[in-house]
Amino acid sequence: MKTEAVFQFMMDKNEERVKQGIAPISSFGLAYTMYENDQARVAAAEAEKKENEETKQRGALVGGGSAASGGTAEQVPYKSGSHKSIWDVPVID
């Protein structure tokens, strides 16, 4: 399946390159490397987004007088001094 994904990636990139007047990719090895780099870039962006969301959730639990810090049925309200830092606050997924 990965081979098919690389060939599809290669066809898509070649279509873009031809429109730009650049020579198409003819090496599977080069296409594979480009595909892997693209996949790594997407995975890194998703990981950063997840980390940002988790930080927001933890901040809502540690925060002061906001509605989010009051707790809900799923989240336990923050009690002063119960966590040393924001990273000690448990987050329920």
The pLDDT tens digits for 18-53 are 999 999 999 999 999 999 999 999 999 999 999 888
**pLDDT class for 77, splitting at 50, 70, 90?**
low
Burial 62-93 (b: 16+ CB within 10 A, else e): beeeeeeeeeeeebeebeeeeeeeeeebeeee
Q: What angle do CA 34, 38, 42 make, to 5 degrees?
A: 170
Phi, psi of 68 (to 5 degrees): -65, -30
- Domains identified in the chain, total number: 1
Domain that holds residue 51: 1-59
Is 93 contained in some domain? no
- What pTM does this model have? 0.56
Is 23 contained in some domain? yes
